Amino acid sequence: MKIKNIFFDFDGVLAESVNAKTEAFKELYLPYGEEIAAKVVDHHIYHGGVSRYEKFKIYHTEFLHRDISEQEVQELAKKFSNLVLKKVIDSNEVTGAKAFLEKYYKHLQFWIITGTPTQEIIDIANQRSLSHYFLGLHGSPEKKKFWTEFLIEKFSLKREETLFLGDATTDYEAALYSKTHFALREHDENRELFKDYNGLRFVNFHDFENLLKPHLE
């Protein structure tokens, strides 16, 4: 395969920020009890790339057995953003991420596709001085499958030349849906989840660059 285009998830792929969001979900639902908070954390880890808006609806209807209004969803989303935004901005990069972007962004085409709200990921990327590496930064409320297809169509990308770097099941599912290649960024929170995954995987961007080099023109 020859790779010319890369879709990046953000949390857990470019930044070590997965735990910040896990802790935020736990804090929001701890008032309902340790058992509910534990269920929320388990679901969040298993469904890492699902948007927070969808998760709030799931947690209220399935775990709390109560309806949640759109206004309540927005209020929870605001509280969540307040808890995590600075932590995500200040989180460590995945080792080698920025150096990799700097080295290759003029030779390959890069986009971010994330479950984070679009405006929020734009703000985060701006604060981390990453925006100029990407042709676009795309998040919720649209799903990742929407964005992969949207970008493939908009930029006339060849699926066989496109790679999705992700750490969540939603990333892998989007890659399968759009028939692109996929590489898993492995870390402590997804290792068990992907124990049966047999495709490309990396821990840091030094590993990833070694994986990628044979597939560049």
The tens digit of pLDDT for each residue in 165-203 reads 999 999 999 999 999 999 999 999 899 989 999 999 999
Q: What is the rounded average pLDDT of the residues 60-69? A: 94
Would you state the pLDDT for residue 196? 94
Is 6 a residue whose pLDDT tops 80? yes
Is 146 a residue whose pLDDT tops 90? yes
Mean pLDDT rounded to a whole number for the chain: 94
Is 48 a residue whose pLDDT tops 80? no
Q: What is the rounded average pLDDT of the residues 89-105? A: 97
Looking at the chain, the whole-number percentage of residues with pLDDT higher than 70 is 100
d(CA 59, CA 147): 25
Is the CB of residue 140 less than 8 Å from the CB of residue 116? yes
Is 82 a residue whose pLDDT tops 90? no
d(CA 99, CA 210): 14
192 three-class SS: coil
Question: What would the pLDDT profile of 99-137 be if each residue is shown by its tens digit?
Answer: 999 999 999 999 999 999 999 999 999 999 999 999 999
At 1, the pLDDT band (50, 70, 90 cuts) reads: confident
Which residues, in sequence order, are CB contacts of 203 under 8 Å at separation 6+? 95, 185, 186, 187
Is 47 a residue whose pLDDT tops 90? no
Would you state the pLDDT for residue 84? 87
